[in-house]
Amino acid sequence: MENVYKAMRNTGAANIAIGIIMIVTGVSAGTLAIVTGANLLKKKSQLTF
């Protein structure tokens, strides 16, 4: 029975770690998108298609 609790603890710890990594990745990707979008808006007059 103790093995089950150890497995559940390890699984829970791994899920928390994965969640934190996903939050950090999402925040950094969002920041990058905002910065590059602002850069495009700033240079809007220079863009021609």
Residue position matching structure tokens 């602002």? 38
Per-residue pLDDT averaged across 25-32, rounded? 98
Q: Is the pLDDT of residue 46 over 90?
A: no
Decide: pTM greater than 0.85.
Answer: no
**What is the pLDDT confidence band of residue 36, given thresholds at 50, 70 and 90?**
very high
Query: Residues of the chain with pLDDT > 90: what percent?
Result: 84
Place of tokens 């700033």: 42
- 48 φ/ψ sector (left φ>0, alpha ψ -120 to 50, else beta): beta
Question: Average pLDDT of 9-16?
Answer: 96
Flag whether pLDDT at 5 surpasses 90: yes
Residue type, 18: I
